[in-house]
Amino acid sequence: MDFTRTHFELFGLPTAYALDRDKLDTAYRELQNAVHPDRFAAQPEAEQRVAMQWATQVNEAYQTLKHPVNRGVYLLSLQGIDALHAGNTHMAPAFLMQQMEWREAIDEARTGKRVDALDALSDDLRAAHRRIEAQLADLLDRAHDYTAATEAVRQLRFMDKLIAEVGDVYEELEG
Amino acid sequence: MALLQISEPGMSTAPHQHRLAVGIDLGTTNSLVATVRSGLSVVLDDEAGHSLLPSVVRYHADGRTDVGYGALSAQNDDPHNTIVSVKRFMGRGIADIDDIASLPYRFVDAPGMVQLKTAAGVKSPVEVSAEILKVLRQRAEAAMGGELVGAVITVPAYFDDAQRQATKDAAQMAGLNVLRLLNEPTAAAIAYGLDNASEGIYAVYDLGGGTFDISILKLSRGVFEVLSTNGDSALGGDDFDQRVFCWMLEQGRFAPLSAGDTRLLLTKARDAKEALTEHTEVRVTAVLSTGEMMDATLTQADFNAMTASLVSKTLAPTRKALRDAGLAVGEVKGVVMVGGSTRMPCVRQAVADLFKQTPLTNLDPDKVVALGAAMQADVLAGNRAGDDWLLLDVIPLSLGLETMGGLTEKVIPRNTTIPTARAQDFTTFKDGQTAMSVHVMQGERELAADCRSLARFELRGIPPMVAGAARIRVTFQVDADGLLSVSAREQSTGVEASVQVKPSYGLGDEDITRMLKDAFTHAKDDMFARALNEQIVDAQGLIAATRAALAEDGALLDAEEAAAVEASIAALETLIGGTDHQAIKRGVEALNAATTEFAQRRMDQNVRRALAGQKLETFG
């Protein structure tokens, strides 16, 4: 199996953060149609094994490109940068302040059992997530500023954690 | 029995031969078998015209077994030896079964999976399930007039690795070749989705006898993509029976019950529950073996009140599945209802309220899973060409490892599309540490003690280094059945250890062989004749498929490579003429090994074609 192809090459997509999601989904479905083990269930074991390896690889590549944080981390890794390295801790103070405010808002919604407040907060977080994604596309695809891009990727990861926390609170309030 | 078709040497068998394959819904309460005939999926009935086979097995002291209606009618007279709802015990330990006190069985604690003491000896839930599957296999072979090439067996989406492995082992014991373990909601979606040719987001709400599953699927252009799944593998119609049973105890104020009377009241409870789907009230009467009696009326309103907490227990996982898929209720185009328990009006109402739409109930909720499984079996057996579809399923629960301090480290998060593989690096924490224990867990909780333990193994022979210097890479591979294998490798020295996550409940290959032998003692089949026959069919299939591949893509091999493959084929053909099934098996393995490189090149070619946007022909 040829694993030297990048995930972008595997799906026939340009190597860029800005992504045509429809094209990715279509290429993913076509590739899985060609390699999925279900296509080889009646075939010899050797073909089944190769199919499993390929389908695994295609799934991995799809998950990486589909997910905004993973796609950023992957693009930076192609530049030799480990964005999630433990030594990379710099974060703009303004962003950290905003984080704290959001955390407090989550706590308030929890203690006040306010599902409506949680809904509003969810919308805010998703909007902020989209803004950072747009910045990241600009930093990676146009400005090639990998230092700033690394920070943006880590900010996105923070956002994902916050969104997951909101999910936990929903569960708590609904349960 | 119909004759097997054997092709002329050099001719491909694949396109014309209809391969007999079935879908089996191995349910908590009832099981079914279905197949595709002339393009239509149909449930196969027994001689008496019953399509449902009650999932009940009765063991006699002489080793005979009754399965289905015969066993069901004996459950009140012989409760210890008549096993009902065995699916709830698959891959489960005693501690996992919370209503154990109210069950009439004599449980035996065994590592990993509970066992049951019967008149015919101690039986594992795997053996009990195999009895049910055997009856379905015989029913299918009688109806279809030939041996099956394989079966798709459905499991609740929320089944963990131990439960899936137990199901696969049961199929193996019943002499079935498992083409795929398929998640029940996904099977239901196939049955619905293709009939209605629907595109969009669907929720499948599956409340069976003993399990609850919710799956969110995206249907688009022939691909069924499972976005998320959630559920409760210990919640189902049986729990509703239990509530009615408790109500009956209150009404009757009985002395402590015998096992037979417990069974009797549970049966009455189920009857009352079923009557309430059509009527607003039902009169419940019972006379116990002690002469005690009860006579009371249960209204639908009372029933709804006593089961409301059970219904709401299904809604929390449903909301969670939607959140995991990143979807709002309004984005769901339809809700498919599966499982006999969705006939209850209170369940339908709760689902309609949550999704703000009337759920789909036009296919029989008892049959829809088997019908979908049969359609998938037909695809996997290679009977369809061109117009088939693809399933992309997910793992229901996160997989991980226990780390220092009894915490879990997730390696593969839940709802990851399968097949998948993920590696994680670990290191030693003591100077000179030469072994490392790998403890594989499944579940969402932080503490290892709260997750399910799947397997433990040791990586030994790590060269002594200072703490933190060794690099141990642990790789998880989950196949298309959702089954896990784990390997560990020290990076600098290449020391390796791996485990098929299988013996967690103490059923090794040896146990299975022993059980197979036990099972065959009481059957007419000659095990060795069957094993030989199966090996020959396997070998012929492999030769035909290899020849077809050579005819199609022989150009991918040079003369020397092609000659090597031909030599392996010739060797295997010679072995087929003999009667040594072990030798044939080795010949099959040798041919498989000889074609590995060829398979790689064929797949590379497929991928190139797919990327070029060419519409691919079917393979095979």
Q: A8-38, pLDDT tens digit by residue?
A: 999 999 999 999 999 999 999 889 988 999 8
Which chain A residues have a beta carbon less than 8 Å from that of B322? none
Q: Which residue matches tokens 């059945």?
A: B481
Contacts of A174 in chain B (CB under 8 A): 316, 319
Active site residue B353: no
Residue B512 has pLDDT above 80, yes or no: no
Residue B9, classed as helix, strand or coil, is coil
Chain A residues with beta carbon closer than 8 angstroms to that of B223:
29, 32-33
Task: Write out pLDDT tens, residues B236-245.
Answer: 999 999 999 9
Mutate to test the interface with B, among A6, A10, A50 (most CBs of B within 10 A): A50
Q: Which two tokens stand for residue B107?
A: 């449980």
State the DSSP code for B14.
Answer: T
B52 three-class SS: coil
To the nearest whole angstrom, how far is the Cα of B592 from the nearest Cα of chain A? 5
Query: Is the per-residue pLDDT at A86 higher than 70?
Result: yes
Give me the pLDDT at residue B501, please. Answer: 56
Cα B394 to Cα A51: distance, rounded to the nearest angstrom:
17
Instruction: Give A171→chain B minimum CA distance, Å.
Output: 7
Which pLDDT score is estimated for A58?
Answer: 95
From residue B297, alpha-carbon distances to B247, B255, B291 in Å are 11, 21, 20
- Measured distance CA(B78)–CA(B59) in Å, rounded: 9
Q: Is the pLDDT score of B616 beyond 50? A: no
Residues in A closer than 8 angstroms to B611, CB to CB, are 10, 12, 27, 30-31
Q: Residue B504: its pLDDT value, please?
A: 44
Confidence of residue A140 (pLDDT cuts 50, 70, 90): very high
Spell B594-610 as b/e; 16+ CB within 10 A means b. bbebbbbebbeebbeeb
Q: In whole angstroms, how far apart are CA B234 and each of B28, B190, B207, B305, B598? A: 11, 25, 11, 21, 46
Give the phi and the psi of residue B417 in degrees, each rounded to 5. -65, 135
Taking a contact as any Cβ pair under 8 Å apart, which residues of chain B between 335 and 374 contact chain A?
none
pLDDT range class, residue B615, cuts 50, 70, 90? very low
Of B419, B593, B604, the CB nearest to A52: B419
Interchain CB distance below 8 Å, A34 and B323: no
| A34 CB within 8 Å of a chain B CB | yes
The one catalytic residue in B131, B161, B184, B393 is B184
Say yes or no to pLDDT of B13 above 50. Answer: no
Tokens at residue B432, please?
């000179």
Q: Return the pLDDT at B459.
A: 80
Over residues B559-573, the mean pLDDT reads 90
Average pLDDT over residues B371-391: 85
Question: Which of A 63-122 lie inside 8 A of B, CB atoms?
Answer: 63
pLDDT of residue B387: 59
Query: Is the pLDDT confidence value at B210 over 50?
Result: yes
Is B517 considered catalytic here? no
d(CA B7, CA B543): 10
pLDDT digits (tens, 9 = 90+) for B406-460: 888 899 998 899 999 998 888 888 888 888 888 888 888 888 888 888 888 788 8
Which among B46, B66, B87, B367 is annotated as catalytic?
B87
**pLDDT, mean over chain A:** 91
pLDDT reported for residue A175: 64
Instruction: For residues A42-46, give the mean pLDDT.
Output: 81
| B419·A29 Cβ contact <8 A | no
Would an 8 Å CB–CB cutoff place B2 in contact with chain A? no
Q: Do A33 and B616 touch (CB under 8 A)?
A: yes
Looking at chain B from residue 537 to 556, which residues have their Cβ under 8 Å from any Cβ of chain A?
541-542, 545-546, 549
Give the E-state strand segments of chain A in sequence order: none
Q: Of all helices (H) and strands (E), which one includes residue B214?
A: strand B212-220
Q: Any chain A CB within 8 A of the CB of B593?
A: yes
pTM over 0.90: no
CA separation for the pair B74, B51 (Å, rounded)? 20
Contact B390 A167 (CB under 8 A): no
Tell me what the pLDDT averaged over chain B comes to: 85
CA angle B232, B344, B320 (to 5 degrees): 30
**Nearest in space to B304 (alpha carbons), one of B350, B271, B270, B336:** B350
ipTM: 0.86
Cβ contact, residue pair A34, B609, below 8 Å:
yes
Which residue is associated with the tokens 């949680």?
A118
* pLDDT surpassing 70 at residue B523: no
pLDDT band at B364 (very low <50, low <70, confident <90, very high): very high
Peptide bond into B419 cis (omega under 30): yes
Beta strand pairing status for B178-183 and B21-26?
unpaired
**Active-site hit among B66, B206, B213, B238:** B206
Inform me whether the pLDDT recorded for B228 exceeds 90: yes
Q: Indicate yes or no: CB of B390 within 8 angstroms of CB of A41.
A: no
| Cα(B154)–Cα(B369) distance, integer angstroms | 8
Does residue B502 have a pLDDT over 70?
no
Given CB atoms, is A22 within the 8 Å cutoff of chain B? no
Q: B207 near B299, Cβ under 8 Å? A: no
CB contact A45 to B (< 8 Å): yes
Q: What is the pLDDT of residue B321?
A: 93
pLDDT band at B7 (very low <50, low <70, confident <90, very high): very low
Q: Average of pLDDT values for B145-151?
A: 90
Q: Is B328 on the interface with A (CB under 8 A)?
A: no
CA gap A89, A139 in Å, rounded:
19
Structure tokens at B70: 């015969």
Q: How large is the average pLDDT for residues B5-29?
A: 66
Six-digit token string for B561: 């490579």
The larger pLDDT score, comparing residue A123 to residue B498, is at A123
pLDDT tens column, B165-201: 999 999 988 989 999 999 999 999 998 875 556 788 9
Is A147 in CB contact (< 8 Å) with chain B?
no
How many other C-beta atoms are found inside a 10 Å radius of the C-beta of residue B512?
19
Q: Which two tokens stand for residue B243?
A: 């509530």
**pLDDT at residue B433, rounded to an integer:** 87
How many CB pairs (< 8 A) connect A and B? Answer: 125
pLDDT for residue B530: 65
Give the pLDDT score at B540.
85
B180 — contact with chain A (CB < 8 Å)? yes
Question: Are the CB atoms for B457 and B438 separated by under 8 Å?
Answer: yes
Kindly list the residues from chain A whose CB atom is less than 8 angstroms away from the CB atom of residue B605. none
| Surface of B (451-490) touching A: CB under 8 A | 477, 479-480
Query: Which candidate, B76, B75, B117, B77, places its Cα nearest to that of B94?
Result: B117
Chain B residues with CB under 8 Å of A12 CB are 611
